[in-house]
Each structure stands twice: as C-alpha cells, then as structure tokens.
Amino acid sequence: MIPAAYKPKKKFMQLAIAEAKRARDRGDYAIGAVITRLTGRREVVIASAGNRVKTSGSSIKHVELETLKYVSSGYGRYLPDFVLYSTHEPCAMCAGACVWSRIGAVVYGVSQEDIAAFGRKRGTEDRWLSPTRMQKTVQLRGSIVALPYVNKKVRNGD
C-alpha cells in the first residue's frame, strides 16, 4: 500500500515524458506511462511504454491500460504497492482499470481541463477531449438475458 506521505518522483514523470516523445516519433499520440513499485523507501521502475493507439490500429491500446495489463501478468491481479505515472490524466477506461487493479497511486502530468483548453486555443477542442468529456452517446440496453438467469439462479440456490 502506498503511504499517505508518498511524494511522486520527478524522474519517473520524466521517463514517462521520454516514452511519450518516442511514441510521437513513431507516429502515435504523445502519451507515455511508467509503473513503479514501492518497497519500503525504495521505488523501482517495473514497466514503461508509449501509446500505441494509432500504430496498433486499436482504439483501446491506451498506454496506461497496456502497462497495467503487463504488470498484472507478472505481479498479480491487485497492485496496491505500485504507482502509475502518466503524462496525461487517465481517461474513463484507464481510470476504471486503475480502480479494478487497485493500483496504489496515479500521478499524471496534464489534466483533462488542460487538454480541453489546448484544443480550444487551437480551434480543435473535439480532437483533444478525452472520452469522459465528449458529448457522445452510446445506446445501452441491458437485462435482456442476464436478469432472468440471475433470478433463476438465486431462486434455485445455485
């Protein structure tokens, strides 16, 4: 577990920025992430990477999600002793992954508000907004099959 007195280290954010620059240089979005592990007073890098959304052709290859998956594969499902450093505030998908992985802390560089302001300044706000701020709707329809199955399972004591 990350102590309340934990102070983020500039050198780890600088490594995330270097990863973001490498991602940009290979034609991807300039977003980088580093995951460290805190053991006592020692903090070491476990994983670092740059975004691969454009180069992979997958809209869900966010660097935060990919590094969390990588670290979880070696250290287990929950990551309370780990810190995610990201150059950008995680989107809703990546923030959800942080919650589900129980990561100890998240440190980010640029906030969603900063990203939106940057887009407004350039007249391209919609390009820079994260999905958590976009005004898009997705149809959500549930309880078609799952609810009757759950009710039957509960009644039968399965």
Q: Where in the sequence numbering do the catalytic residues fall?
A: 64
Q: Which of 91, 51, 88 is nearest to 67 (CA)?
A: 51
Phi, psi of 136 (to 5 degrees): -105, 150
45, 12 contact by CB (below 8 A): yes
85, 64 contact by CB (below 8 A): no
